[in-house]
Structure 1
């Protein structure tokens, strides 16, 4: 039962990537629009003082902010696509239809039961307007619930076919037919249940606010501690996109969640100071600074004869963490060899966020240094305090370095480069690194696919192939046939996690290319 639950949670976590990863793109466009309309920048860059450029910037930021107020629909469609095993496009289309049915069914039920509040009294009532329809304010949770329901029914019945005159009602049309009564009943049930859920969410939010720095520490530490399970997305997503991360009225529109509030505030030039809720999106401190200190500590404590190999491992991993915020190549380099370091890393991540809060820093930096400057610099120092973020980052770099170095040497931990034999160091070394970097990612990943499949136990042992942002996620028939050493030594994997029939192989940003090539090698149709 525990294994089955873990499988479901990992599948859900993977499915969340479809909607979640599209939102930073919207944020970057909003940031660009903010740059083009920033009056202070125009003083130093005269070419920005132009009506056409200003208008274009206003158009960009104003258009993209609309995504933030329709996250329910985005998550319903995105999660349906992410969780669908096949016919993903049809699952997404069905989700749109079901979302429209749900909001109108709920609106009609609330109207019939005389539970709708006046349109001018929505604030604080627990109700809101979605696509022009007044319903209970379920925020992003509405999309998550509908995405799960649609994908479940879709996966179960999307290939159901009928004969004769009823043939036209098979497949995705049958899924839609089944979902109509389910959606209406769900709308009625949630109309009565969700007010209690709202009270629970409000109480949890109040608890977190009252615990203040302890709550921030717990959030930051858990977000890292759950990395090995792949479920860390379930920690930060509610804070970034629901009322748990804060509620703010900006320009007459109510926004929920740290990320949504921040992006909305970016587009509002009249704000003097950003909301304090953005602290939940300041998770990038350890990614840009702390882990760099950890890498330097591991390099300095490695054996002299292994330093060249360790450079080949740590330098690209460090740059990936700093530039793109992808930390797993570094974390998995010490997670299994020295778990205590990972626990320390998680605690330092939480403490770093607490320090940011103590210094009233409003800057965010979830996805590396490029996003950090794009998001924060145009808003100015007074709004974000971004220079203090960098200063605290330098301090955190030093803390990581000295703590990691002390712990590694004190307890003689077998971090990369400190193994007993050179062959063991090979477990963390990307073979033929210098030769591989000269080839394109497509060609490079294609050459390792036969080895990868063989190391997973062969074609017949692989039941399902999927991926998230950095991991190749597989369902394996017999995990005893999986050869972790070969995956690390010969395919460049940073780590391998085996839980029940679930196998996760960490490849970093190139994972989507590897997944595509695995699909082609196994003859899996790519939708």
Structure 2
């Protein structure tokens, strides 16, 4: 049962990527729109102050804010598609239909039972407008709950077909038929249950807020500690997109969640200091500064004969972490050889968020330096106090460097550049990966590899062989940095080959779930594996 729960959580965490990863794009475009409406910037750069540019900025930011007010639908579709085993496009279409049925069913029931409040007095009533329809304010949780239920029904009934006159009612049509009574009953049931749940969520949010910096520290620490399990998304997502991360009225509309409030506020010209809720999205210090200090410490403690190799490995990894916020290649380089360093990294990540809060800094950089520039600099120093973010970052760069260097030398941890020549504690650079791609796996799996494989086929063949072969691989998916698979026999997985021959910076085997960390090139790796296996990819 424990393994089934863990497997389900990991799969759910992966499905969350579909809606979560699209939202920062909306945020960046909102920030760009704000460039043309920000009063401070227009005073500094007068040629931007013209009706065409300001009108464009107003339209761009104003139109994209609508995404934040429809997160329920976005998460419903994204999770349904992510959890669907087959016919993903049909699952997405069905989820839109089910969502519309739900909100209208709830609205009608609330009206019949006399529970609808005056539409002009929604603030604090627990009700809201969703796509122009007044229902209980379930926020992003509505999309998550419906997405999971829809995917379960879809996976069970999507292949059912009928004969003769009933043929048109098979497949996805039958899924929708089954969902109608389920969704209507859910709408009625949640009309009674959700006010209680909402009260509990509000109480939890209040407890966390009352916990102050301790709650913030715990949040930041857990968000890093869960990296090995792939479940860290389940920690920060509720704070970014639900009432746990705060509730604020911006421009006459109510927004829930730190990221939503931030995007909504930066779309408003001439705002003051951003809301305190933004602190829940201040997770970038360890990515942009801390881990760079850790990399420098690993380089300075490397053996003299390994300095060149360590430099070639660490510089690309540090650059990726700083620019794009992709930290796993660095974290996996010391996570297993020196777990104490990973715990220290998690603790420092939590402390960095507390430090930003203590200095009242409202700048964020969740995905590295590019995000930091686009989100904060256009708003001006007075709004985000972004120079304080850089000063705190430099402080943590020094702390990471000093503590990592001391502990590596004190306990002789075999981090990059300190391993024995027979060991393979290695983080692969882009150069290493390209070199590995150019080799073939003919000696490993002569019976299944084409006599003249392409470089992509070669790396895919090596990966498949290291995972126990085609017959051992049940499913292949990926998230932002990891190849995620389920296998029949986890004992057949060769972690050394995956690291040494394919450029993986980390391998996690949990029951029948396997995660192989490839960084930003994971999508290309996934595609080559799918092609090698001859399996269609719907993700």
TM-score range, shorter chain: over 0.9
Does structure 2 retain, via aligned residues, the 8 Å contact 1:417–1:425?
A: no
Report the counterpart of residue 324 of structure 1 in structure 2: 324
Distance 1:438 1:339, change over 3 A: closer
Q: Deviations over 1:123-180 (max 9, x none)?
A: 1010001011110000000000010011111111111111121111110001000000
Distance 1:445 1:36, change over 3 A: farther
In the TM superposition, residue 280 of structure 1 has moved relative to its aligned partner by 0.5
Report the counterpart of residue 196 of structure 1 in structure 2: 196
Q: Deviations over 1:82-133 (max 9, x none)?
A: 1111111110100000000000111111111111111111110100010111
Quick check: 1:504 aligned with 2:504?
Answer: no
2: CA distance, partners of 1:176 / 1:319:
47
In the TM superposition, residue 426 of structure 1 has moved relative to its aligned partner by 6.0
Report the counterpart of residue 461 of structure 1 in structure 2: 472
In the TM superposition, residue 312 of structure 1 has moved relative to its aligned partner by 2.2
In the TM superposition, residue 448 of structure 1 has moved relative to its aligned partner by 0.9
Which SS does the other structure have where 1:333 is aligned? helix
Unaligned runs of 5+ in 1: none
Pairing of 1:100-499 with structure 2 (within 5 A): 100-419=100-419, 421-425=420-424, 427-429=426-428, 433=432, 436=435, 445-499=456-510
2: CA distance, partners of 1:332 / 1:434:
16
Question: Which stretch has the larger CA shift, 263-272 or 68-77?
Answer: 263-272
Which SS does the other structure have where 2:330 is aligned? helix
Quick check: 1:515 aligned with 2:522?
Answer: no
Which SS does the other structure have where 1:86 is aligned? coil
User: TM-score when scaled to structure 1?
Assistant: 0.97
Q: Deviations over 1:241-286 (max 9, x none)?
A: 0000000001100000000000000011132111000000100110
2: CA distance, partners of 1:393 / 1:241:
25
Distance 1:322 1:437, change over 3 A: farther
2: CA distance, partners of 1:364 / 1:46:
27
Does structure 1 retain, via aligned residues, the 8 Å contact 2:79–2:148?
A: yes
Distance 1:392 1:478, change over 3 A: same
Unaligned runs of 5+ in 2: 439-453
In the TM superposition, residue 446 of structure 1 has moved relative to its aligned partner by 4.6
Which SS does the other structure have where 1:21 is aligned? helix
In the TM superposition, residue 431 of structure 1 has moved relative to its aligned partner by 9.1
Does structure 1 retain, via aligned residues, the 8 Å contact 2:428–2:504?
A: no
User: TM-score when scaled to structure 2?
Assistant: 0.95
CA RMSD between the two structures: 1.5
Does structure 2 retain, via aligned residues, the 8 Å contact 1:306–1:422?
A: no
1: CA distance, partners of 2:434 / 2:78:
38
2: CA distance, partners of 1:18 / 1:33:
24
Q: Deviations over 1:414-459 (max 9, x none)?
A: 212212x2231464345962864999xxx86554111111111111
2: CA distance, partners of 1:437 / 1:267:
46
2: CA distance, partners of 1:300 / 1:438:
30
Distance 1:467 1:345, change over 3 A: same
Report the counterpart of residue 22 of structure 1 in structure 2: 22
2: CA distance, partners of 1:347 / 1:382:
29
Question: Which stretch has the larger CA shift, 313-322 or 43-52?
Answer: 43-52
Distance 1:194 1:310, change over 3 A: same
In the TM superposition, residue 494 of structure 1 has moved relative to its aligned partner by 0.7
Does structure 1 retain, via aligned residues, the 8 Å contact 2:436–2:501?
A: no
Does structure 2 retain, via aligned residues, the 8 Å contact 1:62–1:267?
A: yes
Does structure 2 retain, via aligned residues, the 8 Å contact 1:430–1:488?
A: no
Does structure 2 retain, via aligned residues, the 8 Å contact 1:299–1:417?
A: yes
1: CA distance, partners of 2:52 / 2:63:
16
Does structure 2 retain, via aligned residues, the 8 Å contact 1:431–1:489?
A: no
Does structure 2 retain, via aligned residues, the 8 Å contact 1:466–1:472?
A: yes
Count of matched residue pairs: 523
Which SS does the other structure have where 1:472 is aligned? strand
Does structure 2 retain, via aligned residues, the 8 Å contact 1:312–1:433?
A: no
Question: Which stretch has the larger CA shift, 210-219 or 429-438?
Answer: 429-438
Does structure 1 retain, via aligned residues, the 8 Å contact 2:433–2:503?
A: no
Does structure 2 retain, via aligned residues, the 8 Å contact 1:416–1:425?
A: no
In the TM superposition, residue 49 of structure 1 has moved relative to its aligned partner by 1.7
Which SS does the other structure have where 1:254 is aligned? strand
1: CA distance, partners of 2:234 / 2:430:
34
Q: Deviations over 1:394-428 (max 9, x none)?
A: 00000000001111111111212212x22314643
Does structure 2 retain, via aligned residues, the 8 Å contact 1:446–1:514?
A: no
Which SS does the other structure have where 1:212 is aligned? helix
Which SS does the other structure have where 1:274 is aligned? coil
